[in-house]
Every structure is written in C-alpha cells, then in structure tokens.
Amino acid sequence: MASPGSGPPAANGAPYNRDGRVVSDRVSGPGRRASAGPPDVSRLATRGGVPLAPVRWWRRKDLRFRLTATATLVFGAALGASALLLVLVLAEALVDDIDSAVAQRARTVVADAEAGRLTNPLISQDGTMVQVVEPDQRINFVTASTDRLVPLLDATARERAMRIGEPVHIDGRPYGIAAPLRAVVLRAEGGRTVIAAKSSAEVQGSITTTANVMLIGTPLLLGMFAAASHLIIGRALRPIAALRRGADEITGTARSRRLPVPEARDEVHSLATTLNDMLARLEAAELRQRALVSDAAHELRSPLASIRLQLEVALGHPEGADWQETAEGVLEDTLRLSRLAEDLLSLARLSERGGAPSRRDPVDLSDLLCRTAARYGEARVAVTVHSTAPGLTTTGDALDLGRVLTNLVDNAVRHAATGVELHARADGSDIVVTVTDDGPGVPEADRERVFDRFTRLDSARSRDSGGAGLGLAIVRETVRAHGGSAHLEDARPGLRAVVRLPMLV
C-alpha cells in the first residue's frame, strides 16, 4: 500500500507526489551520491552518423600513421577487388573450356552417328560422358562407366537444352559424381539425342587453389606494402621534421637563423623557401621597428631635455629668470614635440592600412595645389603656382595628399633663397607634381637616403630650424599608398621634388 500523500506508482515504478508529479528515486545530499542508470546510447555525440570517438582517435594520430593507414586501406581494397575479379575470371575461363570440350565431343558423336560409325562403348579420352538416347528413350551407346539405364537429362530437360542451345548445369550426386556436370544436348538423325557431359571438379580445384593462394599471399603483400609505405612516407616527411626542429631553435635572440631547405625541388622546398622569406621580412620589420623606436626616443629626448633645462634654470634662479623668454623656449620645444607626434601618428596609420589609402575619392590636384600655396601667403619666401592644367584628377585621400604637398612645401620654404614654385602637368597616364626651390640642394648621393625615417643632412638642416626627419618619409609612404612614386632631382640651382600619381581616367 502506498504511503499517505503518495499516489499510485508511475509506469517506471516511481510513486506520484501530492502534486501529481513523479517522485525521483535519485537522492542527493552531503555524503550521498545520486544513483545513475545506464548511459543513453542514443545521446552519444555523432557527426554525420559516425561516433566522434573514432574520429578523435584518428585525428590524434600523427600524419605518418594516417598516410600509411590510408594508403594501406586503399591498396588492400584494390588488391581484394583484383583478387576477387581474378577468381571470377579464372572460373569463367575454365568453365568455358569445359563447355567447349563437351560441345566438340557432342558434335563428333553426332557426326559419327550420322555416318554409322558409333561403337559401343564410345571412346572418351578426356573424361567426357556421352549417352545416345534413342527415340524410344533407350540408351544404346554410352562411354565407359556411364549409366545405360537413366539418361543424364529427361526428355523435358533435353528439349529445353536443345531449344536454348547453351550448355546446362547438372547435379552429379544422383549419378555418383561428387562434382557438378556441364552438359550439351544435340539432336542427331533418326530422332536420336546425344548428351555429352563432363565433371567440373577440376574447375573447383583450380578455384580453391587460387583462392587459398590469394588468402595467404594477399595479407603478406599488404603487410609488405604497409611496411614500405611507412618507410617511404617517413623519409618524405623527414624535411618537414627538420623544418619543425629548425623552427623550435629560432628564438627571440636568434631570429637571424633560417630554416633548412631540402635539396629536392618539391612542395617542402617551396614551403621552406617561403617561410625563410617570411622570416627575413619579419626580421627586417623588427629592425625597422627597433630603429623607429630608438630614433623616436632620441628625438623626444632632445626637446624634453631642453624643456627640463629651461625650467630648472628658471626655478633655480627665479629672481633673475626671464619668464617670457622661458615660456617662448618651452613653447617652441612643445611645438617640436607636437609635430613629431603628428608625424609618428601619420606613419603608424600608413603602416596599419598596409600601404593602402584610407579613402579613394576623386582629388583635383590643380585645386589642391592652389589651396596649398595659398596657406603660405606670409612665408619668408614667395610660394607660387607656376602652371597647372585642368582635369588633373587622381583617386585617393585628399587629406593625405594635402599633407604630402604641405611637407614638400615646408621643406622647400625652409631652404629656399628667394622663392618656391609649384607645377602640375599630365604625362601620359600619370600626373606629375613638382615642388622646386632655389636653395642649396641635396647632393646626389644623399637624394635617396633623405627619404629614410629620421634622416637629416646636417649641412642643410639644423635641429632648431628643421624637422625630425620624417617629412619626406611620410611623403614617399603616402605616395606609394596611392600607387605613385616620389624622388628628388637637381634644379640648378636648388632642388626639385617630383611626385608622380596615376591619373583618373
């Protein structure tokens, strides 16, 4: 009887509570363990109907094992199919030989019967059994050891065999023959019927022997193939192992090392070459980054030291300090720091974009040139737009291209003697913009070097009047991002900066 407050038992034997819910037989609490039934097999994780456990086991194996196992399985399947096909073809060929021999013997007996040359018993040299059945179902002529009373095929079976014209299969056990028979039935003159049959025991023996050879030889051959595949794949993967060991040896202090390149001109050779090229690029990028950080720290240290020195002197001797002069000096150094920060930020943005402009809008370079020149109305030398042409439009970021012109004009104004000229013209599918000054110029040997970051020519620039050496570096990086080029050439006298950009068609 159920206890008060409990209902009738549920279908699984658990009682109901007062709310009509099934009371679970699992008890949990401190020191007690909930009972669990057998695992639900239907909830096992599967993927495409295949349990994940074998898949995970397979994926955990190394590449050499997986390649060897896959090749062995494929070769084993092909070898098994070939063996089965061989046995089937051999059986069919042997049966065809028996059928041909029986048919030939039957035709010979028919010819002898029509010529009256039959003998009793009939001569058979290859074990073929022959019966000549008379119209009254008597057997007058047979080969030795062949039944004279019962035909191998009854009348109905003989008629059917003659109608289809193909050899028929006969069970030899009723006639004391363990193996089946292949028989051919032909009609002779006078209503006679010639039955020729032969045992297929030799066919079964040959097939059995071949199958036994296959059963023994196939696993041996498959094992030899697996061992050879394991060795060959191991040798093929040896360069990859060498690459892995070489990669392990490359540490933060040995980045200049390179991975071993195999002699074979295969995919591994291409991979090793590509990885070495990548390491070279990473090393060059790291060197550039270190140089940038070092140069930036050096450039930042000078104005910061100047600001500190001025403030320390002013605070150390406040009664004799000229605070107006101190403030002007600190402001000048602060402006240098601001320009340096802006230049570094511009270079960082160019690097983040991976050498691509942030925008691709139509930019009228003639208008941009005029607007840039208008900003230098109060410069110490005249900045004039010497010549422009309509329709000089390229694609890119107008702000970045304006910064290119500003950097070039700033540099030209800083070193010009009397003036700066701006030109823009079309040259085929390109637009050529030039900024020319009549200053001291740059030696030909240094015209390419000045585009490097933090590069200054002491004879032409000083730390007080010049920049941090990032202006031309920003110019070249920006112009390259827009698909163009920048270089310096002699203006006699002075220097000419040439920027070439693709024209918008």
For every residue of 213-253, which 3-state class applies, written as one string?
A: HHHHHHHHHHHHHHHHHHHHHHHHHHHHHHHHHHHHHCCCC
Q: Across the chain, what does the average pLDDT equal? A: 81
pLDDT digits (tens, 9 = 90+) for 13-35: 444 444 444 444 444 444 444 44
pLDDT digits (tens, 9 = 90+) for 402-413: 989 998 998 899
DSSP secondary structure string for all residues of 464-496: TTS--S-HHHHHHHHHHHTT-EEEEEE-SSSEE
Which H or E element spans position 393? strand 393-396
Residues 237 and 262 sit within 8 Å (Cβ to Cβ): no
Question: Where are the chain's structural domains?
Answer: 52-248, 358-502
pLDDT under 50 in the chain at which residues?
1-44, 459-465
The reported pLDDT for the residue numbered 355 is: 61
State both tokens at 172: 């030899």
Give me the phi and psi of 272, to 5 degrees please.
-65, -40
State both tokens at 228: 């050879």
The reported pLDDT for the residue numbered 255 is: 60
State the Cα–Cα distance between residues 468 and 478, nearest whole angstrom: 17
Residue 303 CB neighbours (<10 A) = 21
The reported pLDDT for the residue numbered 183 is: 92
Residues 6+ positions from 28 with CB-CB distance below 8 Å:
34
- Would you give the DSSP letter of residue 36? -
State the Cα–Cα distance between residues 253 and 270, nearest whole angstrom: 26
364-396 burial string, b = 16+ CB within 10 Å, else e? bbbebbeebbeebeebebebebeebeeebbbbb
In angstroms, how far is the first alpha carbon of the chain from the final one?
A: 97
Which H or E element spans position 366? helix 365-374
State the Cα–Cα distance between residues 70 and 225, nearest whole angstrom: 12
- Interhelix angle for 323-352 vs 471-481, to 10°? 30
Residues 6+ positions from 317 with CB-CB distance below 8 Å:
none
State the Cα–Cα distance between residues 363 and 78, nearest whole angstrom: 67
The SS3 assignment for 502 reads: strand
Residues 407 and 414 sit within 8 Å (Cβ to Cβ): no
State the Cα–Cα distance between residues 125 and 468, nearest whole angstrom: 114
Bridge-based pairing state of the strands 181-187 and 46-47? unpaired
* CATH classification code of 358-502: 3.30.565.10
Which H or E element spans position 58? helix 52-60
State both tokens at 170: 């006969």
State both tokens at 259: 């991975």
Residues 178 and 201 sit within 8 Å (Cβ to Cβ): yes
State both tokens at 310: 């001025």
Give me Rg for the CA atoms of the chain: 51
Nearest to 199 by CA among 94, 65, 79: 94
State the Cα–Cα distance between residues 69 and 229, nearest whole angstrom: 9
State the Cα–Cα distance between residues 329 and 145, nearest whole angstrom: 135
% helix / strand / coil in the chain, to the nearest 5? 50, 15, 35
- Would you give the DSSP letter of residue 32? B
Residues 324 and 451 sit within 8 Å (Cβ to Cβ): no
